[in-house]
Amino acid sequence: MAKKELTVEDKLKALYELQMIDSELDKIKVLRGELPIEVKDLEDELVGMDKRIERVKSSINEIEQEISGYRGSIKDAESLMMKYKKQLDEVRNDREYRALMKEIEDQELNIKLYEKRIGEAKKRLDAKKEALKKFEEELKQKKVDLEIKRTELDKIIAKTEKEEKKLLKASEKAKKNIEERLLASYLRIRAKSRNGLAVVTVTRDACGGCFNKVPAQVQLELTMAKKIIACEHCGRVLVDPEMVGAAQTEEA
Protein backbone atom coordinates (compact mmCIF):
# COMPACT_ATOMS: atom_id res chain seq x y z
CA MET A 1 0.00 0.00 0.00
CA ALA A 2 1.41 3.38 -1.08
CA LYS A 3 2.37 5.82 1.65
CA LYS A 4 -0.07 8.70 2.01
CA GLU A 5 1.23 11.99 0.65
CA LEU A 6 1.46 14.60 3.40
CA THR A 7 -0.35 17.89 2.90
CA VAL A 8 1.46 21.21 3.37
CA GLU A 9 -0.44 21.62 6.62
CA ASP A 10 0.78 18.21 7.81
CA LYS A 11 4.36 19.18 6.92
CA LEU A 12 4.10 22.49 8.74
CA LYS A 13 2.64 20.85 11.83
CA ALA A 14 5.42 18.25 11.79
CA LEU A 15 8.05 20.99 11.45
CA TYR A 16 6.48 23.01 14.23
CA GLU A 17 6.33 19.98 16.52
CA LEU A 18 10.01 19.30 15.89
CA GLN A 19 10.84 22.94 16.58
CA MET A 20 9.01 22.83 19.90
CA ILE A 21 10.94 19.73 20.96
CA ASP A 22 14.29 21.15 19.85
CA SER A 23 13.55 24.45 21.60
CA GLU A 24 13.07 22.56 24.86
CA LEU A 25 16.43 20.89 24.27
CA ASP A 26 17.91 24.34 23.69
CA LYS A 27 16.58 25.47 27.06
CA ILE A 28 18.50 22.63 28.71
CA LYS A 29 21.66 23.71 26.88
CA VAL A 30 21.12 27.29 28.03
CA LEU A 31 20.71 26.03 31.60
CA ARG A 32 24.09 24.30 31.33
CA GLY A 33 25.51 27.45 29.77
CA GLU A 34 29.20 27.45 28.98
CA LEU A 35 29.97 24.87 31.66
CA PRO A 36 30.55 21.89 29.29
CA ILE A 37 32.97 23.99 27.22
CA GLU A 38 34.67 25.37 30.34
CA VAL A 39 35.08 21.87 31.77
CA LYS A 40 36.55 20.57 28.50
CA ASP A 41 38.91 23.57 28.23
CA LEU A 42 40.10 23.05 31.80
CA GLU A 43 40.65 19.33 31.19
CA ASP A 44 42.72 20.12 28.10
CA GLU A 45 44.62 22.80 30.01
CA LEU A 46 45.45 20.34 32.80
CA VAL A 47 46.82 17.86 30.27
CA GLY A 48 49.03 20.62 28.85
CA MET A 49 50.18 21.69 32.32
CA ASP A 50 51.02 18.10 33.27
CA LYS A 51 53.22 17.81 30.17
CA ARG A 52 54.88 21.16 30.93
CA ILE A 53 55.61 20.05 34.51
CA GLU A 54 57.09 16.78 33.27
CA ARG A 55 59.36 18.72 30.89
CA VAL A 56 60.54 20.98 33.75
CA LYS A 57 61.16 17.95 36.00
CA SER A 58 63.14 16.35 33.18
CA SER A 59 65.23 19.53 32.84
CA ILE A 60 65.83 19.60 36.61
CA ASN A 61 67.00 15.99 36.48
CA GLU A 62 69.37 16.77 33.59
CA ILE A 63 70.85 19.77 35.41
CA GLU A 64 71.30 17.72 38.60
CA GLN A 65 73.10 15.04 36.58
CA GLU A 66 75.22 17.75 34.99
CA ILE A 67 76.20 19.10 38.45
CA SER A 68 76.91 15.57 39.65
CA GLY A 69 79.17 15.07 36.61
CA TYR A 70 81.12 18.25 37.37
CA ARG A 71 81.53 17.19 41.00
CA GLY A 72 82.83 13.83 39.83
CA SER A 73 85.28 15.61 37.54
CA ILE A 74 86.45 17.75 40.47
CA LYS A 75 87.13 14.61 42.53
CA ASP A 76 89.06 13.13 39.61
CA ALA A 77 91.09 16.35 39.29
CA GLU A 78 91.80 16.39 43.04
CA SER A 79 92.95 12.75 42.89
CA LEU A 80 95.31 13.57 40.04
CA MET A 81 96.68 16.56 41.96
CA MET A 82 97.43 14.35 44.98
CA LYS A 83 99.10 11.85 42.69
CA TYR A 84 101.25 14.53 41.01
CA LYS A 85 102.18 16.11 44.37
CA LYS A 86 103.39 12.73 45.65
CA GLN A 87 105.42 12.31 42.49
CA LEU A 88 107.17 15.63 43.21
CA ASP A 89 109.09 13.90 45.98
CA GLU A 90 110.52 11.49 43.46
CA VAL A 91 111.56 13.88 40.66
CA ARG A 92 115.13 13.58 39.42
CA ASN A 93 115.48 16.77 37.43
CA ASP A 94 113.96 20.19 36.74
CA ARG A 95 112.23 19.03 33.56
CA GLU A 96 110.22 16.39 35.44
CA TYR A 97 109.48 18.90 38.20
CA ARG A 98 108.19 21.53 35.76
CA ALA A 99 106.09 18.90 33.97
CA LEU A 100 104.45 17.81 37.21
CA MET A 101 103.84 21.39 38.32
CA LYS A 102 102.21 22.07 34.94
CA GLU A 103 99.88 19.07 35.44
CA ILE A 104 99.00 20.27 38.95
CA GLU A 105 98.25 23.80 37.66
CA ASP A 106 96.09 22.35 34.85
CA GLN A 107 94.03 20.37 37.37
CA GLU A 108 93.63 23.46 39.56
CA LEU A 109 92.32 25.35 36.53
CA ASN A 110 90.01 22.45 35.69
CA ILE A 111 88.64 22.49 39.25
CA LYS A 112 87.98 26.24 39.03
CA LEU A 113 86.24 25.74 35.66
CA TYR A 114 84.08 22.91 37.01
CA GLU A 115 83.19 24.99 40.09
CA LYS A 116 82.19 27.88 37.81
CA ARG A 117 80.02 25.56 35.72
CA ILE A 118 78.46 24.14 38.88
CA GLY A 119 77.59 27.70 39.98
CA GLU A 120 76.01 28.45 36.59
CA ALA A 121 74.11 25.14 36.64
CA LYS A 122 72.83 25.84 40.16
CA LYS A 123 71.37 29.17 38.99
CA ARG A 124 69.57 27.37 36.17
CA LEU A 125 68.47 24.69 38.63
CA ASP A 126 67.05 27.28 41.04
CA ALA A 127 65.15 28.95 38.17
CA LYS A 128 63.72 25.61 37.04
CA LYS A 129 62.69 24.68 40.58
CA GLU A 130 61.02 28.06 41.02
CA ALA A 131 59.15 27.56 37.74
CA LEU A 132 58.16 24.04 38.81
CA LYS A 133 56.79 25.36 42.10
CA LYS A 134 54.77 27.99 40.25
CA PHE A 135 53.40 25.48 37.72
CA GLU A 136 52.45 22.99 40.45
CA GLU A 137 50.60 25.73 42.37
CA GLU A 138 48.76 26.70 39.18
CA LEU A 139 47.96 23.05 38.50
CA LYS A 140 46.59 22.63 42.02
CA GLN A 141 44.32 25.66 41.62
CA LYS A 142 43.17 24.55 38.15
CA LYS A 143 42.22 21.16 39.59
CA VAL A 144 40.15 22.89 42.27
CA ASP A 145 38.45 25.03 39.59
CA LEU A 146 37.77 21.94 37.48
CA GLU A 147 36.29 20.05 40.41
CA ILE A 148 33.96 22.96 41.20
CA LYS A 149 32.78 23.24 37.60
CA ARG A 150 32.41 19.47 37.22
CA THR A 151 30.31 19.30 40.38
CA GLU A 152 28.14 22.17 39.16
CA LEU A 153 27.74 20.59 35.72
CA ASP A 154 26.99 17.15 37.21
CA LYS A 155 24.20 18.66 39.31
CA ILE A 156 22.63 20.28 36.26
CA ILE A 157 23.00 17.11 34.18
CA ALA A 158 21.46 15.00 36.95
CA LYS A 159 18.53 17.41 37.06
CA THR A 160 18.00 17.49 33.28
CA GLU A 161 19.34 14.17 32.00
CA LYS A 162 16.04 12.27 32.12
CA GLU A 163 14.16 15.07 30.36
CA GLU A 164 16.94 15.49 27.80
CA LYS A 165 16.91 11.79 26.87
CA LYS A 166 13.14 11.93 26.50
CA LEU A 167 13.34 15.02 24.27
CA LEU A 168 16.19 13.60 22.15
CA LYS A 169 14.14 10.48 21.52
CA ALA A 170 11.10 12.59 20.65
CA SER A 171 13.21 14.76 18.33
CA GLU A 172 14.50 11.74 16.40
CA LYS A 173 10.97 10.37 16.13
CA ALA A 174 9.64 13.72 14.87
CA LYS A 175 12.39 13.94 12.24
CA LYS A 176 11.19 10.68 10.71
CA ASN A 177 7.87 12.37 9.86
CA ILE A 178 9.59 15.06 7.79
CA GLU A 179 10.86 14.56 4.25
CA GLU A 180 14.62 14.66 3.84
CA ARG A 181 14.84 17.89 1.81
CA LEU A 182 12.60 19.79 4.22
CA LEU A 183 14.46 18.47 7.25
CA ALA A 184 17.81 19.51 5.75
CA SER A 185 16.43 23.01 5.20
CA TYR A 186 15.12 23.12 8.78
CA LEU A 187 18.48 22.07 10.21
CA ARG A 188 20.33 24.59 8.05
CA ILE A 189 18.11 27.50 9.15
CA ARG A 190 18.24 26.39 12.77
CA ALA A 191 22.04 26.18 12.73
CA LYS A 192 22.48 29.76 11.56
CA SER A 193 19.75 31.22 13.80
CA ARG A 194 21.03 32.80 17.01
CA ASN A 195 18.13 31.44 19.06
CA GLY A 196 17.87 28.11 17.24
CA LEU A 197 14.46 28.95 15.76
CA ALA A 198 13.80 27.72 12.25
CA VAL A 199 9.98 27.53 12.44
CA VAL A 200 8.01 30.37 14.03
CA THR A 201 4.44 31.59 14.28
CA VAL A 202 3.24 35.00 13.22
CA THR A 203 2.48 36.90 16.41
CA ARG A 204 0.88 40.35 16.45
CA ASP A 205 1.43 40.59 12.69
CA ALA A 206 5.19 39.99 13.05
CA CYS A 207 7.63 37.14 12.45
CA GLY A 208 8.20 35.29 15.72
CA GLY A 209 11.89 35.00 14.90
CA CYS A 210 13.11 38.40 13.70
CA PHE A 211 9.98 40.41 14.70
CA ASN A 212 9.70 42.12 11.34
CA LYS A 213 6.18 42.84 10.10
CA VAL A 214 4.55 40.13 8.00
CA PRO A 215 2.30 41.50 5.21
CA ALA A 216 -1.44 40.80 5.51
CA GLN A 217 -1.40 38.92 2.18
CA VAL A 218 1.27 36.55 3.49
CA GLN A 219 -0.69 35.98 6.69
CA LEU A 220 -3.74 35.10 4.60
CA GLU A 221 -1.70 32.60 2.58
CA LEU A 222 -0.48 31.05 5.83
CA THR A 223 -4.04 30.34 6.94
CA MET A 224 -4.67 28.59 3.61
CA ALA A 225 -1.60 26.35 4.07
CA LYS A 226 -1.14 25.80 0.35
CA LYS A 227 2.64 26.23 0.38
CA ILE A 228 5.54 26.58 2.77
CA ILE A 229 6.34 30.26 3.27
CA ALA A 230 9.57 31.71 4.68
CA CYS A 231 10.01 35.11 6.30
CA GLU A 232 11.37 37.50 3.68
CA HIS A 233 13.69 39.04 6.28
CA CYS A 234 15.21 36.11 8.20
CA GLY A 235 14.30 33.04 6.11
CA ARG A 236 12.54 31.21 8.95
CA VAL A 237 9.53 29.06 8.09
CA LEU A 238 6.30 30.84 9.06
CA VAL A 239 3.23 29.05 10.37
CA ASP A 240 -0.25 30.24 11.28
CA PRO A 241 -0.56 30.15 15.11
CA GLU A 242 -4.15 28.88 15.00
CA MET A 243 -3.16 25.99 12.76
CA VAL A 244 -0.62 24.72 15.29
CA GLY A 245 -2.59 25.74 18.37
CA ALA A 246 -0.19 28.43 19.54
CA ALA A 247 -2.33 31.04 21.24
CA GLN A 248 0.49 33.52 21.87
CA THR A 249 4.20 33.06 21.23
CA GLU A 250 6.48 30.30 22.32
CA GLU A 251 9.48 32.29 21.12
CA ALA A 252 9.18 35.12 23.65
Determine the pLDDT at residue 194. Answer: 84
Query: What pLDDT was estimated at residue 250?
Result: 41
- Confidence (pLDDT) at 246: 60
Instruction: With both helix axes pointing from N to C terminus, report the angle between 94-175 and 35-88 in degrees, rounded to the nearest 10.
Output: 170
249 occurs within a structural domain = no
Residue 164 lies in a domain: yes
pLDDT at position 46: 96
Q: Are 210 and 117 part of one and the same domain? A: no
The confidence score (pLDDT) of residue 43 equals 96
Q: What is the pLDDT of residue 6?
A: 80
Domain that holds residue 132: 33-173
Q: Give the model confidence (pLDDT) of 214-245 as tens digits.
A: 999 999 999 999 999 999 999 999 999 998 88
Which CATH number fits the domain that encloses residue 104? 1.10.287.1490
75 in the same domain as 188: no
DSSP label of 21: H
27 and 37 share a domain? no
| Low-confidence residues in the chain, pLDDT < 50 | 1-3, 247-252
* Separation between Cα atoms, residue 31 and residue 170, nearest integer Å: 20
Closest-CA residue to 34 (of 163, 179, 142, 149): 149
List of residues 6+ apart from 77 with CB closer than 8 A:
107, 108, 110, 111, 114
CA distance 220 to 204: 14
pLDDT score at 173? 92
pTM of full prediction above 0.75 = no
Residue 192 and residue 159 share a domain: no
The total domain count for the chain is 2
Identity at 27, one-letter amino acid code: K
pLDDT of 186 reads: 95
End-of-domain residue from the set 147, 173, 199: 173
pLDDT at 136: 97
